[in-house]
Amino acid sequence: MLKVTIGLCVKNSEKTVKEAIDSVINQDFPHEEMEIIVVDGGSEDRTLDIITDRVSKINIQTKIYDDGGNGLGVARQIVVDKACGKYIVWVDGDVILSKDFSLKQVEFMEQNPHVGIAGARYRYISKEGKLVNDLQSLLCRAESTDAWMGSNISRIEALRQVGGFDKRIKGACEDIDIIARIKAADWLVSINQEAKFYHNCRDTWRDLWNEQKWFGYGGHYISHKHKFVLWRRVPPASFMSGLMLALKVYKLTYQKKSFLLPSQSVFQSIAWCLGFIKSHMDGYGHGAG
């Protein structure tokens, strides 16, 4: 009987997806109890070629789908609809799982039957000599290093009980939405401190800017649907939080570049707010509640 479905939702991830799929292949969880479901979001690079090549050489049942250009909400739901496992371990195209990730997560869920979703601990993979990478890694040292959709485990029963993912969500924040609805259905949401994975940093300031705009665009949808107040995202608040984080990081690392974190926080906040405004102008999320 299949116990774990690996849900790999990807788009244009050729730079990192080989490491991601290899970390899945190298899981010390029994392969006969696993399946892999890949959903591609219309990649225009070699993402699918890399995945196809890697999975052709393994003994794990693999299915590959396309989301039809409908976005991440649909992509996640395809995995939910097609999954045969008791649990879904979500893997993004830019993360690397620790070898015992699936084992640790399944053990945690079996011991905690009222938990619907369990996040994990993560660290950024930094490339030496790049300030943008260094600052992201330092930020990770200070912030809560818990993650939800970069790689978590979800109980399929809980996902299906709440109707799965919101298919209207085109990009970011589908994790925030599903967590809110899982909690509302009286399931617990937790962090498994024993499960770890690694997340690739954004390579350039432009990549980081675009990522934060994407988060802001999705944030607008979620703010309307769940009536969230997101004042901490505005630049003045982000500067103050960045300053507090800088002091914390400096005490941990004694690296003077830590004091650039407030500027980075404002940089990310401006991008996020522009994405939020663009989403509002597009009407994305209006009436989502």
Q: Are 169 and 71 in contact (CB under 8 A)?
A: yes
Please tell me the distance from the alpha carbon of residue 34 to that of residue 286, in angstroms, as a whole number.
39
Residue 233 has a pLDDT of 83
Please tell me the distance from the alpha carbon of residue 275 to that of residue 268, in angstroms, as a whole number.
11
pLDDT of residue 164 exceeding 90, the answer is: yes
- Domain coordinates of the chain in residue numbers? 4-202, 204-289
pLDDT of residue 118 exceeding 80, the answer is: yes
pLDDT of residue 277 exceeding 60, the answer is: yes
pLDDT of residue 90 exceeding 80, the answer is: yes
More confident residue, 5 or 144: 5
In the chain, what percentage of residues exceed pLDDT 70? Answer: 94
CATH 3.50.50.60 is held by the domain 4-202: no
- Give 61's strand partners: 35
pLDDT band at 57 (very low <50, low <70, confident <90, very high): confident
Mean pLDDT, range 49-58, rounded to an integer? 91
For the segment 99-109, what is each residue's pLDDT rounded down to a tens digit?
999 999 999 99
For the segment 131-146, what is each residue's pLDDT rounded down to a tens digit?
888 888 877 766 555 5
Tokens 């607008």 correspond to what residue?
220
Q: What is the pTM of this model?
A: 0.90
Tokens 């969880």 correspond to what residue?
29
C-alpha closest to that of 7 among 79, 93, 101: 79
Cα separations (Å) of 133 from 242, 246, 248? 16, 16, 18
